[in-house]
Amino acid sequence: MNKTKIKSQTNEEVLFENLRKDLIDPLAIELSNHLEWLKIDVFSETESEKYPIAITGNGSPILLLHGFDSSFLEFRRLVPLLQKTHRLYIPDLYGFGFCPRPKNVNYGPRALIKHLNKVLSLIPGNAKVGLIGASMGGALAMELARQNPEKVNKLLLLSPAGLTGKPKPIPMILDQIGVWFLSQPLVRKNICKQAFYDPLNSVGEAEEQIASLHLHVDGWGSSLAAFARTGGLANCGSPLPTQPIKVLWGDNDRIIEGEQLKKSKELLKSYWQELKECGHLPHLDKPKEVAMMWNAEW
């Protein structure tokens, strides 16, 4: 992958370098040290852009995919548990995190998958790649595995979202209202707390900072609104990929619940397991258990 790096810094690189100076979480600081900016031509009709991918560790490769309105920093607690035996590739999803936001392009599911296929093709060597997908990243992992049966060898999904149901496009104007709502500090704090099992003891200034750090990227609101207008990710679970699958759900997931959770578990049948005292983020609430599951024989 290093062959595709270029020297000149983009606005996103400069911004991130400034933002990372104020990071509080030691694990986030360490992971940010491994961020690389690789030139990827996601759309042939636009110029190539430099996209952020954290790359660290040694061993068999794993591609880790974060959730909705998040960034690569989401995996900060899992990385130290896997990097001694695996080469980890953690991209920001297209239109999310600290990625550039080219104007007049599509920010729907197809664009996300196209970007991830490009990332997957940049992973060197002939070894097959494992996928770990969290929340929305779980749905993307399913589609990426279906499209690349010769490249992907297994999937671990963490509280996957978007496996069932139908896309629900958000009309214009309402999409802008939604973006404004998600930009409010109190709203972001509450969503952050809702995602953890024990927010009173697990969520502090460091967690809240990481959950909102990427809002400083130019185009955050416009790309989020564009994604909402497409209806987002839905019905990505069927047909199941042919590769081995494991799924971990927290017993106190307050994000994926009710009928959505029921239908997702029915689709995945015997592939899923429940983690006790865990919320929507197994890789943050229970990173040791997630690492143990990945390294187990299956």
pLDDT digits (tens, 9 = 90+) for 165-224: 999 999 999 999 999 999 999 999 999 999 999 999 999 999 999 999 999 999 999 999
The predicted structure's pLDDT at residue 104: 82
Is the pLDDT at 6 greater than 50, yes or no?
no
> CA–CA separation, 69 vs 55, rounded Å?
21
Give tens-digit pLDDT for 222-268.
999 999 999 999 999 999 999 999 999 999 999 999 999 999 999 99
Q: 117: burial class by Cβ within 10 Å (0-12, 13-18, 19+)? A: middle
Q: Three-state SS for 53?
A: strand
Q: Considering the chain, what is the average pLDDT of its residues? A: 94
Both tokens of 239, joined, read 């047909």
Of 32-36, 131-135, 294-298, the range with the lowest mean pLDDT is 294-298
> With contact defined as beta carbons under 8 Å apart, do 285 and 277 qualify?
yes
Nearest to 120 by CA among 1, 25, 214: 1
Q: Three-state SS for 98?
A: coil
Q: What is the DSSP string of 148-179?
A: -TTTEEEEEEES--SSSS---PPPTTHHHHHH
- N-terminal to C-terminal alpha carbon distance within the chain: 29
Predicted TM-score (pTM) of the model is 0.95
In sequence order, the 6+-apart residues with CB closer than 8 A to the CB of 231 are: 108, 166, 167, 168, 169, 170
Is the pLDDT at 34 greater than 60, yes or no?
yes
Structural domains of the chain ordered from first start: 2-295 (3.40.50.1820)
Express as a percent the part of the chain with pLDDT over 90: 91
> CA–CA separation, 229 vs 176, rounded Å?
10
Q: In what order do the strands lie in the sheet with 49-56?
A: 35-40, 49-56, 86-91, 60-65, 129-134, 152-158, 245-250, 272-275
The predicted structure's pLDDT at residue 44: 62
Q: Tell me whether strands 152-158 and 35-40 are parallel, antiparallel or unpaired.
A: unpaired
The predicted structure's pLDDT at residue 42: 87
Residue 7 — very low, low, confident or very high, per pLDDT cuts 50/70/90? low
Phi–psi pair at 170, nearest 5 degrees: -95, 125
Q: Three-state SS for 226?
A: helix
> With contact defined as beta carbons under 8 Å apart, do 1 and 122 qualify?
yes
> CA–CA separation, 19 vs 14, rounded Å?
9
Residue 298 — very low, low, confident or very high, per pLDDT cuts 50/70/90? confident
> CA–CA separation, 281 vs 233, rounded Å?
19
> With contact defined as beta carbons under 8 Å apart, do 188 and 204 qualify?
no
Is the pLDDT at 47 greater than 80, yes or no?
no
> With contact defined as beta carbons under 8 Å apart, do 141 and 72 qualify?
no
> CA–CA separation, 17 vs 201, rounded Å?
29
Q: What integer is the mean pLDDT of 43-63?
A: 88
Nearest to 279 by CA among 194, 160, 200: 194
Is the pLDDT at 5 greater than 50, yes or no?
no
